[in-house]
Amino acid sequence: MNIVEFINHVLKEEIRRIQQAYEWKHTYLSFGLISGGIEFLGALCDRYDLNEGGHSEDRFNDALIRFFDPRYHYYAQRKKPFKLYSNLRCGMLHVVIPVDKLILGERANDSAKYVHLNKYRTMGNERLFLMAEDFYDDFRSACDKVINMINDKSILNLPEVIRASQKKNIMDPKNWTVC
């Protein structure tokens, strides 16, 4: 499976099935999977090897800024109270619980009272609401942007990728397999 196939099959299709399958819907778990996927997209755009440690926050935030709708850019800033890296990604990937600055929901239960990426005062605190299906749709669009950049080779023109010879090799489908 090359990198485009991996993004299509694993990041887009498998996460969609996990989140939206009729009988076995795992909406909550999809937030962690999407968070890991966001970091992976960012890892494709820096100069480091994919598994090199110490770059998670930069990769996550870079992907939000590069590939997501501008509504997400505020939440990629390090010193902001609702930054998604520390409030969502770290909580979901380390202890499977987001920080209390977030409310996670799904359309079936929450669309009447909450709007994706809006803030609400609950339990005495202001909290950012994330709607699972909207978050997935935005993630899927980000994946499509990355795939387009790989296919037209424009991803290789990003300043950091130019310095990353390993990245140049993996962007060629015949040189890299994920699984």
Q: Is 64 exposed, middle or buried (0-12, 13-18, 19+ CB in 10 A)?
A: buried
Indicate the pLDDT class of residue 172, thresholds 50, 70 and 90: low
Q: Which residues contact 46 (CB under 8 A, 6 or more apart)?
A: 55, 58, 59, 62, 160, 161, 164
Count of CB atoms within 10 A of residue 24's CB? Answer: 7
Report which DSSP code applies to 25: -
Q: Is residue 85 part of a domain?
A: yes
118 inside domain: no
What rounded mean pLDDT belongs to the chain? 89
Q: What is the pLDDT of residue 163?
A: 65
Domain of residue 46 covers 3-94+133-172
For residues 86 and 76, the answer to whether their CB atoms sit within 8 Å is: no
Q: Is residue 104 part of a domain?
A: no
Residue ranges of E strands in 80-175 = 102-105, 119-122, 125-131
Please say whether the beta carbons of 74 and 117 come within 8 A: no
Query: How does DSSP classify residue 28?
Result: H
pLDDT score, position 151: 87
Q: Is position 45 within any domain?
A: yes
Tokens of 172: 């060629």
Q: Is 114 a domain residue? A: no
Residues 6+ apart with CB under 8 A from 134: 116, 117
Give the pLDDT confidence of 46-55 residue by residue, as tens digits. 888 888 899 9
**Cβ atoms 72, 84 nearer than 8 A:** yes
User: For the segment 131-168, what is each residue's pLDDT rounded down to a tens digit?
Assistant: 999 999 999 999 999 999 988 888 877 777 766 655 55
The domain total for the chain is 1
Domain membership flag for residue 50: yes
The pLDDT assigned to 34 comes to: 98
What is the three-class DSSP state of 127? strand
Residue 111 lies in a domain: no
Residue 25 has pLDDT above 90, yes or no: no
- pLDDT-based confidence at 23, cuts 50/70/90? confident
Q: What is the pLDDT of residues 61-116, one digit of tens each?
A: 999 999 999 999 999 998 899 999 999 999 999 998 998 899 999 999 999 999 99
* Whether the model pTM is above 0.85: yes
Q: 33 in a domain, yes or no?
A: yes
